[in-house]
A and B are shown apart, each in its own frame.
Chain A
């Protein structure tokens, strides 16, 4: 089995989306399952990279889409790549292949990730792929492209879900599902009110330290309001 990953973050290799795929690959590759990484933002700027991706995608068994949420949805370069796949391969052009989506976001609530998971599932349906389900992780901003292990206890829940996923991929235990998200974990176990208080205090302190006076500045004015 060979796996192709599509990393949706505009931060490419330095992203948390890449950290998640790298964590999976570290366990899959030694077991003889290669994982080839492709970056949406690179393909957006270099059409040649998209041709390589399409070629590998056709030869693969499983596509893993790993992406952050940007304003409730997948980042534009990732959508651009998915549109390109549909245009070149046509409806049902990826029949027989499977897809797993890893969608993560800054905010903790599961509903913040649902539209992105839905989009991956709509893509799967249109391309005739078998939906292997989604993994949904909240509160991922502090990871900021570091390795999941380096984040210690904070990423324990995420790693545990990814470990189970590796096991299922290796043993062939993942099969087509109806469910949108197989798992949802957040690194933030606190109430939103408490998070708000803590984060805002930290933001104010950081601004003071770096000499930024007005974080609420309105450079476009308030004309007409």
Chain B
């Protein structure tokens, strides 16, 4: 069965619908999903020490909630990042996790789409879908969020990705349609 990892930085008390709709869509497709509510987890910021690249290859020296997330990440076929949009990007609770993904790279360099990047330690990487929640419509933040998703996909050498952007006043049907459309792009 296909496995989905959801990293959720959007507290469900703010809008339980998004989470419910997403889970129902995945269940419909027969996907098995595991969700981490990041706000409740102990995850420390990256120390930028470089040990996970060259001293303890693939392992971070900090022991906290990231171990579970990394183990799940490498077993998943799809990763969904759910976050309020902060200044066109991820909320800091989610970004803390993203900063700690370096153990998924080897220290070796590769050239991907003409750019320098690090090789992936685990192949293939899961597909990537981001769901950003805007408090209100904001074209610049919308564009910035889309671009960030695309950049993450390039950086992580991921071929299939989608960015879904929901605004605070979207109707449940709109939310459902957008999530469905996003899932079609990555599955």
Contacts and interface: CB of A to CB of B under 8 A. Distances in A.
B155 A76 contact: no
A203 B107 contact: yes
A131 B116 CA distance: 30
Nearest to B107: A203
Given A10-B45, A218-B122, A225-B124, A76 B87 contact: no
B15 interface: no
A199 B111 CA distance: 12
Contact of B152 (A44, A72, A223): A72
Given A82-B86, A111-B115, A192-B114, A220 B109 contact: no
A184 interface: no
A79 B109 CA distance: 28
A109 B116 contact: yes
Interface string B159-171: 0000000000000
| Chain A interface residue number, banded | 35 or more
Nearest to A127: B87
Contacts of A224: 3, 75, 77
Given A10-B48, A222-B122, A118 B147 contact: yes
A192 B54 contact: no
Contact of B115 (A10, A71, A109, A200): A109
B59 A9 contact: no
B95 A119 contact: no
Interface in A126-185: 126
Contact of A221 (B74, B77, B86, B151): B74
Contacts of B116: 107-109, 192, 195-196
Contacts of B91: 79, 83
A67 B151 CA distance: 18
B98 A83 contact: no
A79 B3 CA distance: 30
B34 to A, nearest CB: 13
Contact of A76 (B57, B96, B119, B144): B96
Contacts of A72: 148, 151-152, 155
A206 B45 CA distance: 27
Contacts of B89: 73-74, 79, 115, 118-119
Interface of B: 3, 45-48, 53-55, 57-59, 70-71, 74-75, 77, 86-93, 95-96, 98-99, 101-103, 106-111, 114-117, 119, 121-124, 140-141, 144, 147-148, 151-152, 155
Given A41-B45, A109-B116, 10 more contacts: A70-B95, A73-B89, A115-B147, A119-B87, A192-B115, A199-B109, A203-B54, A215-B108, A220-B71, A222-B122
